[in-house]
Amino acid sequence: MPTAQQNHRAGDAQVIAQVCRGLVQVVNRRRTLDWLRSHQDKLLATPLHQELLYGTTRHYFSLTKLISEYLAKPLRSKDQDLYALLLVGAYQLRFSRKPDHAIVNGAVNTCAALGKPWARGLINGVLRKVQRNTNAIADQEDGRLNHPDWLARKITAQYPNNSSDIFTANDQRGPMALRVNTRKINFQDYCRVLDQQGIQFALGAATNSLVLVTPQPAASLPHWQDGFVAVQELSAQFPSGLLLQALSMDLHSPVIFDACSAPGGKLLQLHESLCGQFSTHRLIGNDKVPERLEETRKIAQRLGHSDDARLILQCADATHADVVAEQSCDAILLDAPCSGSGTIRRNPDIRILLQPEHLDDHQATQLQLLHNLWRGLKQGGTLLYSTCSLFDEENDQVIQQFVSAQPDTIVASVQLPYGKATRLGWQMLPTEPLTDGFYYAMLRKAVQ
Ligand SMILES: C[S@@+](CC[C@H](N)C(=O)[O-])C[C@H]1O[C@@H](n2cnc3c(N)ncnc32)[C@H](O)[C@@H]1O
């Protein structure tokens, strides 16, 4: 009968084997970590799976450079799971507190779990060499090298003064920001609950926001199931306030269209704020992906907004002409699909999956969305355009092209507590350090 220790080792080997399969999905099959989470959740089943898969993805480019020094020739395409095993082992040697010999033995045992016991000698040999050199490697580490060349060049070209800070920030874990749902509890009262439970936090500069000193699983937050609080990245908490400021207080029942709303962070925050400011309103949360809208529905339910007739969820492609009636909206939020280049520390797979030509594709979609939605805006109304991108191609360039083609557009100024003005909008960076990279531009429709 196997001993408890043998069972434990076999369990670890299974976890590492699943992490390797997950890494192959990302690197070789070009799947996102989000896709894995919704389609193959067993590959991310435990905190250990998540730590190893996210950690190895986060340091992927440094780790590949490291392994290439010790691997005599590339592995065959059918053995990319073994290459992933070398990366996961190197990640653990570099970043985990587990003893080195246990890490190398764990990787060697994983060969059998991958159905490739013949590779034990190879894995052992390469990881022993990595083990002997990890201290030297730590000294040489340079955030720039942990990005693909094209991405490093683009960040350097567009942010010559803070590129190395951006590289460093991209290799960290993002902070955990919360938004208190003031339909359920007063902001100060929730802060008091956190204090009582010894959960430390800093106040964020967005209304009703705070940032935890140490991230923790959302479901372990006080009154999570009661919907007192939502997890929402801090830079993503400003669009709601910007749109509210743009709405005249004289409006009887404003109509607001959130064109790309799922999973609903900004939508539900906007709904909560509108409830506080107007006696009634109509807020349409649109998205083209039904599963993402379903997620929005669940979150709305937890926050206590699902039976509210003022909030309408709708599934449609916002590039289609009939998505919104002509001149029907007082305000529109276009939180556009984008490269996500401002969120690399939160979505580390972006640095592996993003290709330069994707920026052109995103730009084309962003412009198509803007032109189509503009028809739905009333004269005097405001459209807020936002992306979580760092790049001009998806930000000022899009606004510039749109404004040149649409003569009834007035670019309004944006000013926020973090970040800085660009030619036409406002840019936050992941170096702030509480925010991700995020862009905002406010467009007003001229009254003719
Ligand atoms: C940046 S995310 C939106 C995040 C959301 N606003 C929030 O705060 O939670 C972009 C969204 O755009 C949606 N999307 C992409 N193309 C679209 C289109 N043509 N029409 C409508 N939605 C689209 C995606 O499904 C995705 O949910």
Q: For residue 96, what are the CA distances in angstroms to 21, 50, 89, 137, 214?
A: 20, 14, 10, 15, 18
In a mutational test of the pocket of ligand 1, which residue from 260, 297, 385, 386 has the highest number of ligand atoms less than 8 Å from its CB?
260
Residue 347 three-state SS: coil
pLDDT of res. 350 = 98
As given in the structure block, the two tokens for residue 434 are: 């509480």
- Please name which of 228, 236, 243 lies closest in space to residue 187, comparing C-alpha atoms: 228
Residue 380 three-state SS: strand
CA of 442 to the centre of ligand 1 (A): 18
Encoded amino acid at 318, one letter: A
In a mutational test of the pocket of ligand 1, which residue from 287, 365, 438, 440 has the highest number of ligand atoms less than 8 Å from its CB?
287
CA of 281 to the centre of ligand 1 (A): 22
Report which protein residue has its CA nearest ligand 1's atom 27: 262
Phi, psi (deg, nearest 5) at residue 169: -60, -40
pLDDT of res. 41 = 86
pLDDT of res. 146 = 93
CA of 293 to the centre of ligand 1 (A): 10
Report which protein residue has its CA nearest ligand 1's atom 16: 337
pLDDT of res. 152 = 96
> Relative to the CA of 317, which ligand 1 atom is closest?
20
CA of 332 to the centre of ligand 1 (A): 13
- Per CATH, domain 4-141 is 1.10.940.10: yes
> Relative to the CA of 318, which ligand 1 atom is closest?
20
Enter the DSSP assignment of 128.
H
d(CA 15, CA 19): 6
d(CA 45, CA 24): 17
In a mutational test of the pocket of ligand 1, which residue from 235, 288, 315, 317 has the highest number of ligand atoms less than 8 Å from its CB?
288
What CATH fold (topology level) applies to the domain 176-234?
Alpha-Beta Plaits (3.30.70)
d(CA 268, CA 315): 16
Tell me how crowded residue 230 is: count the other CB atoms within 10 A of its CB.
22
**Residues contacting ligand 1 via CB (< 6 Å):** 236, 259-266, 287-289, 292, 317-319, 335, 337
- Please name which of 70, 39, 37 lies closest in space to residue 54, comparing C-alpha atoms: 37
**CA quadruple 362, 381, 310, 268: dihedral sign:** positive
- Catalytic residue numbers read 388
Residue 332 pairs in a beta bridge with 257, 383
CA of 261 to the centre of ligand 1 (A): 5
Encoded amino acid at 441, one letter: A
Give residue limits of the domains in the chain. 4-141, 144-171, 176-234, 235-445
Report which protein residue has its CA nearest ligand 1's atom 13: 260
> Relative to the CA of 266, which ligand 1 atom is closest?
8
3-state DSSP of 57-78 = HHCHHHHHHHHHCCCCCCCCHH
d(CA 73, CA 127): 15
CA of 264 to the centre of ligand 1 (A): 9
pLDDT of res. 6 = 64
- One pLDDT digit (tens) per residue for the chain, 448 residues: 566 666 666 678 999 999 999 999 999 999 999 999 989 888 888 999 999 999 999 999 999 999 999 999 999 999 999 999 999 999 999 999 999 999 999 999 999 999 999 999 999 999 999 998 876 666 556 788 899 999 999 999 999 999 999 999 999 999 999 999 999 999 999 999 999 999 999 999 999 999 999 999 999 999 999 999 999 999 999 999 999 999 988 898 999 999 999 999 999 999 999 999 999 999 999 999 999 999 999 999 999 998 899 999 999 999 999 999 999 999 999 999 999 999 999 999 999 999 999 999 999 999 999 999 999 999 999 999 999 999 999 999 999 999 999 999 999 999 999 999 999 999 999 999 899 999 999 999 999 8
pLDDT of res. 256 = 98
> Relative to the CA of 296, which ligand 1 atom is closest?
9
Residue 443 pairs in a beta bridge with 383, 411
The secondary element (H helix, E strand) that includes residue 180 is strand 176-180
The secondary element (H helix, E strand) that includes residue 425 is none
- Please name which of 321, 318, 181, 299 lies closest in space to residue 257, comparing C-alpha atoms: 318
- Please name which of 222, 257, 233, 218 lies closest in space to residue 382, comparing C-alpha atoms: 257
- Provide the CATH number for the domain formed by 235-445 in this structure: 3.40.50.150
> Relative to the CA of 258, which ligand 1 atom is closest?
6
